[in-house]
Amino acid sequence: MIELKEVNKTYVSGKNVVEALKNISFKIEEGEFVSVMGPSGCGKSTLINIMSGLDSAESGKLIINGKNITKMTEDELSSFRLNTIGLVFQEFHLFRMLTAKENVILPLQFLDLNNKNERGEYLLKKVGLEKRINFKVLELSAGEKQRVCIARALATDPKLILADEPTGNLDSDSSIEVMKIFQKMKKDNETILMVTHDKEMASFSDRILKMKDGILEE
């Protein structure tokens, strides 16, 4: 499902050169729930950004669902993200003026699908927000916002869910709720890669990859 081969990324900030990722290589099989754990600044988010095509690697290969995304153009990456990847962000990145359902069905507007509204409602029910379907994002709690974000990530029925610190802004109860949703998704054969610095959250996954200073220590 996912294969990374010697992926490197370096940032240059003035005279400082930071090696964010050093020869990262790993594989994730379909239906696996994998966590990448490590302290702040170890390169976890850079890894997610590169895997989602939001950032580019300097060298190495990144094969997702049989496609090498390092060779894709901006437009191809955009289409790839829309169809193949669901992103869950620490800061949710939802449109505050839209309702929960409108946020969820936003990516569907660009796909040739029928029953977009019904799908939006179904996904919100799936994450336990059946009573918040028409609530504006502004009116939701942080935990509910994250669940809307997960429902949006699932909207296009992606092959892979990439979650960047999905519990970073949540209290412990909401965090556990989110992890339970991820476990449910795994049972539905979703492939999930989650970045976290929280040991407890990582323990919900099948496998933990540890990162330190841009190096992966499996």
Binding site for another protein (CB under 8 A): 49, 52, 54-55, 74-75, 78-83, 85, 87, 89, 93-98, 106-107, 109-110, 152, 156
Smallest separation (angstroms) from another protein to the CB of 188 = 21
Smallest separation (angstroms) from another protein to the CB of 212 = 23
Q: Which of 29, 2, 74 is nearest to 207 (CA)?
A: 29
Nearer to another protein, 80 or 204 (CB): 80
Nearer to another protein, 101 or 202 (CB): 101
Nearer to another protein, 123 or 202 (CB): 123
| C-beta contacts of 9-12 below 8 A and 24+ residues apart | 9/43, 9/46, 9/50, 9/55, 9/57, 9/58, 9/214, 10/58
Smallest separation (angstroms) from another protein to the CB of 68 = 18
Smallest separation (angstroms) from another protein to the CB of 98 = 6
Which residues make Cβ contacts (< 8 Å) with residue 77, sequence separation at least 6? 53, 69
Q: Which of 200, 151, 158, 199 is nearest to 30 (CA)?
A: 158
Nearer to another protein, 106 or 208 (CB): 106
For tokens 């507007």, name the residue. Answer: 109
Per-position DSSP letters for 62-74, written without gaps between them: EEETTEEGGG--H
* Separation of alpha carbons 18 and 67, rounded Å: 28
Smallest separation (angstroms) from another protein to the CB of 190 = 17
Nearer to another protein, 110 or 141 (CB): 110
